Amino acid sequence: MTDEREQDVRAAVDGELRLLDPQVRACEERVLELLDPEFTEIGASGRHWDRNSILAATGDGTVSDDAPVHVAEMSGVVLAPGVVHLTYATEHAGRRARRSSLWRLTESGWRLYFHQGTPVG
């Protein structure tokens, strides 16, 4: 992988990990910096989310006391210039999921465009 591609993947990984941080999720401004205006998600619950519904659920200024999200097997690949696909696994409060995210480079930096979580039995 070229240095530029490695930097792109690192930028997407950094953004993904920030979004998993309860301190970041509690701050609407910080979440907005990371979510693309066209963001959509299919959650591990099967629920469909968009940018506004994510903000309503997370950006209320309250920091969650939940157990931390454990991340494993994080890897990324550049699909096209300015588009990175990440895959990884999480475990949170006894629930495990496989996750897939698409990040795209915008004039404002790297933004999460699409995310999907699939529960693991």
Beta strands in the chain (DSSP E): 35-42, 48-50, 70-80, 83-92, 95-106, 109-120
pLDDT tens per residue across span 74-98: 999 999 999 999 999 999 888 999 9
Task: Calculate the average pLDDT of the chain.
Answer: 92
**54-58 long-range CB contacts below 8 Å, 24 or more apart?**
55/28, 55/31, 58/25, 58/26, 58/31
Domain-wise residue ranges, the chain: 3-120
Which tokens is 121 given? 């039995």
- Model confidence, pTM: 0.91
Which tokens is 110 given? 């790297």
In this predicted structure, which of 46-55, 65-74, 87-96, 109-118 has the lowest mean pLDDT?
65-74
pLDDT tens per residue across span 12-37: 999 999 999 988 988 999 999 999 99
Percent of the chain with pLDDT over 70: 93
CATH number of 3-120, picked from 3.20.20.370, 3.20.20.80, 3.10.450.50, 3.40.50.970: 3.10.450.50
